[in-house]
Each structure stands twice: as structure tokens, then as C-alpha cells.
Amino acid sequence: MSMQDLPLGRHVDYPREYDPALLFPIARSLGRAGIGVEPSRLPFIGVDRWHAYELSWLDRRGKPQVATATLEVPADSPNLVESKSLKLYLNSFNATRMADPDALRERIVDDLSRAAGAPVRMAFGLPPITPPRADVVALDALEIDITHYGPPDATLLRVQSDEPVHETFSSALLKSNCPVTGQPDWAQVVIDYHGPRLDPAGLLRYLVSFRDHAEFHEQCVERIHTDLMARLQPRALGVEARYTRRGGLDINPWRATPGMATPRWVRDERQ
């Protein structure tokens, strides 16, 4: 398939029967080339975590079933899965009879793994809503002037001092736009790092500089991680963005330096 076949941004009839061909893979190398990341030598680890809020199918007797699910696509897979195609694919189970929930999970895992080019994980249910954390610095309370809203400007990132610290910042002001439709994508971003002290005002201005930028969710997170590594040169860095849902799905990419522990999966209150 080519990008001209992408279902995003055009009218598509909802499927009336199960169809794995609805899944549209996009090569990650397309976005990574723009930030100087070699697919064969990834400078980060990570996962794209999807929450599916509107999963439904028919049992053996034709009775509708409903559930929620969490899907995990590894960041080192050759492809990401385009969000509208995933929504259409999951909706193709609405009139499909499955023997039991395990059969449904195995079918979805197999189809998504084939599209992504690497093993995908799936579990029924969603992670909990994130509780407040006293150790997280909320950038959005800063009283600062902001005048730049795009393109992303890594020169806004500044080291405040060479004193090594471990800090976690968060902001609900990350917004970018879909590169196909131009629709806004909103996210809570959490940045956890060990390294020279980062200037919080510069970090917030940098995150806001994505406001008029057009790029897929996963690519935005990889850009943030790459820019922070280049400007800050931390010993360890993790970037997680929890995007708000669209069409019953939300995307939560996480990228980190190798060796960092996977964060506890949670959902933002806006999810």
C-alpha cells in the first residue's frame, strides 16, 4: 500500500465484516529520517501503547460483547500502525462471531504483529487513572511569555546548571497537528531525566513550539527525545506522551535511553 491508500482524511464506510486488510502500516523510517535516526541503530527503547475503549464482537450465539483493551507496539518494529486504520479494523469485529475472548485476542495480536512487523502485545482492560505525584514539576504553572508556536525549536532548550539532578517534568500543553487532516492532537507529556539541570521555562517554550507542527504522535515523541538528548546530553532520559482519544482510541508513545525501566502504565485524567 502507498500513502495514497491511507484512509485518514477521507470518507470510508465502516466495515460490516472482519477485514485485517484494513490495517495500514507506515514505515517508521519515514519520520526518523527527518531527525537523523538510523533504523538499524536506534538511540532509544520504547513502546507505543494504545487504549481501545470501544472494542466489541459477537459470541458464538451472536450476542454482542464489549470490552476495553491495551495494545503495545514495540518502538523497534519496522512500522507504526495508522490510527484510523486501527479503528476501522477493530470495528470490523462488531459483527464477527468469536469462540471466546482469548480467540479474539489471539486474532488481533496476530494481525497487528503482521502489520507492525514485530510481536504486539494485548491485554483486556485499561491502566488506572494517574494519581497526583508530589515529585513531578508541573511546567504549566510557569508565568512566562511565549511567542513561538512552530516549527519545533530545539534551541529553546537550555541547561540551567551543570549540577547533576534527577527531575520529572510534566505539561498538558503539548499540541501538534495530524499531518494528513490538520486536526489537533492533544497530550500530557512527562519527561523524566538524570543529568545537568534543565531550564524549565525553556522546556515549556520548546514543547509549545509543537503547537502548529504537523507530525504523527509517535514521531513527535521521538523528536522530543532526540532534541533533549542532543541539547542536554543526560545520563538517562524518558519521554512519555499520553494523547487524548479519537474514535475510541488513544496513543501513548514512550521513548527512553536503553536501560531505563518501563514506567508504570497509567492514563491521564483527560483520557
Q: Point out the residues that are catalytic.
A: 178, 185
Whether 148 has a binding-site annotation, put simply, is: no
> What is the DSSP secondary structure assignment for residue 155, as one 8-state letter?
G
| Of 108, 121, 251, residue with least CA distance to 176 | 251
- Residue 141, CB half-sphere, CA atoms under 13 Å: how many? 5
Q: Please check if 239 is assigned to a binding site.
A: no
**Cα separations in angstroms, 53 against 4, 70, 89, 243:** 28, 9, 14, 14
Beta strand spans in the chain (E): 25-27, 45-58, 64-74, 79-81, 121-124, 136-138, 159-177, 184-198, 236-243, 249-256
CA distance 150 to 86: 29
Residue 269 among known ligand-binding residues: no
CA 172 to chain centre: 15
Is 81 known to sit in a ligand binding site? yes
Check the annotation: does 218 bind a ligand. yes
Q: Can you give the C-alpha Rg of the chain in angstroms? A: 19
Q: Is 223 helix (H, G, I), strand (E, B) or coil?
A: helix
Is 83 annotated in a binding site? The answer is yes
Q: Can you tell me the distance from the alpha carbon of 123 to that of 51, in angstroms, rounded to the nearest whole number? A: 10
82 is in an annotated binding site: yes
247 a known binding residue?
yes
Q: HSE on the CB side for 213, CA within 13 Å?
A: 24
- Cα separation, 200 vs 202, in Å, equals 5
Annotated binding site: 81-84, 217-218, 246-247
Annotated binding site for NADPH: 83-84, 246-247
Annotated binding site for substrate: 81-83, 217-218
